[in-house]
Structures are given as structure tokens and as C-alpha cells.
């Protein structure tokens, strides 16, 4: 099943399901769309066909996967140049020229009942051309939209609009914000109040004193939170950095604090990878992409503000999250 799902025919079929994310031709695919997606049934494969499919997929997994867009268009950021490329002959990308991918697609067509080898070869050629043509059109529109946005006079509004567009295209938009996840940590828990002001800091882990204390500020009057263990102090510091301040119920046991912090960092890292990946298709400028990712991270932590609420209000409520 994994091999079949990675075939080109399923990659192309997937584009006929889901909803458009923004105006650039990219799709967001919900669970209901996946349930409708047509997939060749691997249970119908004979032992020989099954071996072909698995062998081709094993070869494919030994190398990095490539894009389905021709390389010249991926390196292009000018709408005029993109139109020139798109008006020329269709060039298959490197991924569609790989022998392992062609072998996998050939085997999937045999699974579908095409027994004649020459007919399968023709179908693979037509499939790859149709796939290349489809993603060429999407890429041309992407380049045009990026150019339009780069000329916008109001950068702040553009960043918010771009971030909203990216948010609609990632699956995290349907997930509970981290602030809600934090509130549902399992017991036993202890009540702590994280100061709303001041930069959190810890003394060195080798220090003889105050290793379990989080200081907020640098002067002698700095607020402090005395924790039951160093791991709990590290968790308090990280929550404060993310803007999750005020009354909090934190895990009481040291081991639980360590695992919770690790899980928190993993959630943030996974989300940022997806944010950065999708943002790279919306903005050319590296600074704007970074602003988009920071804003998406705030929404991931605190929840996306309701329509009509300004970006400044969202930023203020997020505290220092954009710096982390």
C-alpha cells in the first residue's frame, strides 16, 4: 500500500480532490477528501506483481524524493521568464526520469490490469507528461502571485494575508493551540504563576544555589518562580518564552517535566518545518518568509485571532513567541 500511494498515478489523482488553498492552485486535502481518493488495490496483486512493486519502491527509497515540477521553473522567479518557459516544449523533471519511479508506475499499471508491456510503457509516458503539465501550470501561477505580493505597498498587511493563506493550507489549523494542550496536561500537577513581564532566565546548571528558580528580569527586584526541580524550572522558562504566562498548572514530577518539555519542543519543531515549507511557496523574500513563519507559530501557540482582530493585538497577546 505504501508503494502504491507513492506512485505517480496517485500523486496526479490526488489533485482532483480537496479544496484550493488560496489562489495559486495548491490543494489542502482533508480526511473526507482522502476517503474519496481512488487508490489501486494492492490486495489484487499477484505475487509477481507484488514483488515488482515492492522492489521498485525499495529502490526509490534509497534516494531523496524530487519535485514533480521541471527544475528550470523551480529556479525561476520572474513571471515573464516563467511564461517563456511554459510556452516551450514540456521538459520532464528529474524525478519523473528516474528508472525506479518509471518501474513503480509500470508495475502499478500492471496491477490495474494492463498486461501488455508496450501499452504500459505508453501509459507511463502519457502519465508523466500529464503530471508535468499539471504542475507546470501551478508553478507559473505561483510565480505570478509571488511577484504581485512582492510589489505590495503595505508589507504588514501582505504578511498577514500571506500567513492566513499558508494557515489554510496546513493541517495545524484544525489542531488545538498549544495553550489548550498545556492546560490539559495529565495529573499530578502543581499551581504556579508565571509573571507576565520580564525576560525569563536560569542560573547555570552547575550553580550551588537557585538552580530550581526562574528569574524574570536582571535587577535585584526581579520576580522569580521557585520550582520543585530543575526540569520544572526549564519548563517554566520555555513557557514564558512562548508567551504562555499567568496562572498555570504544571507537571509535578521531574521526569514528567522533562518528557513534557521534549514533547513541546517536538510539536514546535514539526509545525515550523511545515510552516517554512509552505511559506517558501508563497514568498520569495527571506525576511518576509521569516515573518510569516513567526506569525504562524504565534497562531499555533495561542490560536488564530478571530476575524476583525488586528495583527498587533495578536502579536501583543503572544508575548515573546515571535522571538523563539
Partners of residue 247 on adjacent β-strands: 193
More confident call, 312 vs 44: 44
pLDDT band at residue 320 using 50, 70 and 90 as cut-offs:
very low
Helix/strand number for the chain, H first, E second: 14, 7
Partners of residue 28 on adjacent β-strands: 19
**What residues does each domain of the chain span?**
2-151, 173-323
Crossing angle between the packed helical segments 117-150 and 79-87, to the nearest 10 degrees: 160
Question: Contact, 242 vs 251, CB < 8 A?
Answer: no
267, pLDDT greater than 50 = yes
Q: Pick the closest to residue 3 from 106, 85, 98, 120 (CA basis).
A: 106
What is the percent of the chain with per-residue pLDDT over 70, rounded to a whole number? 88
153, pLDDT greater than 80 = no
26, pLDDT greater than 70 = no
pLDDT confidence of residue 5? 94
- Beta strands 200-201; 19-20: pairing state: unpaired
Q: What does pTM read for this prediction? A: 0.49
Which of 75-84, 99-108, 309-318 reaches the highest mean pLDDT?
A: 99-108
**Tens digit of pLDDT for each residue in 46-71?**
999 999 999 999 999 999 988 888 88
Amino acid at each position: 500500500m505504501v508503494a502504491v500511494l507513492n506512485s505517480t498515478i496517485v500523486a496526479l489523482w490526488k489533485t482532483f480532490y480537496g479544496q484550493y488553498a488560496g489562489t495559486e492552485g495548491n490543494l489542502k486535502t482533508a480526511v473526507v477528501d482522502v476517503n474519496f481518493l481512488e487508490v489501486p488495490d494492492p490486495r489484487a496483486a499477484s505475487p509477481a506483481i507484488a514483488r515488482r512493486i515492492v522492489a521498485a519502491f525499495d529502490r526509490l527509497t534509497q534516494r531523496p524524493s524530487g519535485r514533480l515540477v521541471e527544475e528550470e521553473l523551480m529556479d525561476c522567479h520572474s513571471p515573464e521568464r516563467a511564461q517563456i518557459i511554459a510556452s516551450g516544449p514540456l521538459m520532464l523533471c528529474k524525478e519523473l526520469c528516474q528508472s525506479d519511479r518509471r518501474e513503480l508506475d509500470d508495475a502499478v499499471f500492471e496491477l490495474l490490469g494492463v498486461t501488455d508491456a508496450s501499452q504500459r510503457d505508453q501509459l507511463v509516458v502519457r502519465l508523466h507528461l500529464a503530471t508535468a503539465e499539471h504542475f507546470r501550470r501551478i508553478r507559473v501561477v505561483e510565480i505570478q502571485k509571488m511577484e504581485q505580493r512582492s510589489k505590495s505597498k503595505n508589507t504588514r498587511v501582505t504578511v498577514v494575508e500571506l500567513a492566513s493563506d499558508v494557515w489554510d493550507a496546513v493541517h495545524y489549523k484544525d489542531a488545538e493551540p498549544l495553550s489548550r494542550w498545556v492546560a490539559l496536561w495529565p495529573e499530578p500537577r502543581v499551581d504556579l504563576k508565571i509573571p507576565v513581564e520580564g525576560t525569563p532566565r536560569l542560573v547555570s546548571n552547575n550553580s550551588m544555589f537557585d538552580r530550581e528558580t526562574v528569574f524574570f528580569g536582571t535587577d535585584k527586584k526581579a520576580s522569580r518562580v521557585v520550582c520543585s526541580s530543575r526540569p520544572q524550572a526549564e519548563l517554566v522558562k520555555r513557557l514564558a518564552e512562548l508567551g504562555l504566562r499567568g496562572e498555570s498548572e504544571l507537571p509535578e514530577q521531574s521526569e514528567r517535566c522533562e518528557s513534557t518539555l521534549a514533547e513541546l519542543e517536538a510539536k514546535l519543531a514539526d509545525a515550523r518545518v511545515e510552516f517554512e515549507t509552505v511559506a517558501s511557496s508563497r514568498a520569495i523574500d527571506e525576511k518576509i518568509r521569516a515573518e510569516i513563519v513567526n506569525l504562524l507559530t504565534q497562531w499555533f501557540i495561542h490560536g488564530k485571532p478571530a476575524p476583525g482582530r488586528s495583527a498587533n493585538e495578536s502579536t501583543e497577546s503572544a508575548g515573546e513567541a515571535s522571538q523563539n
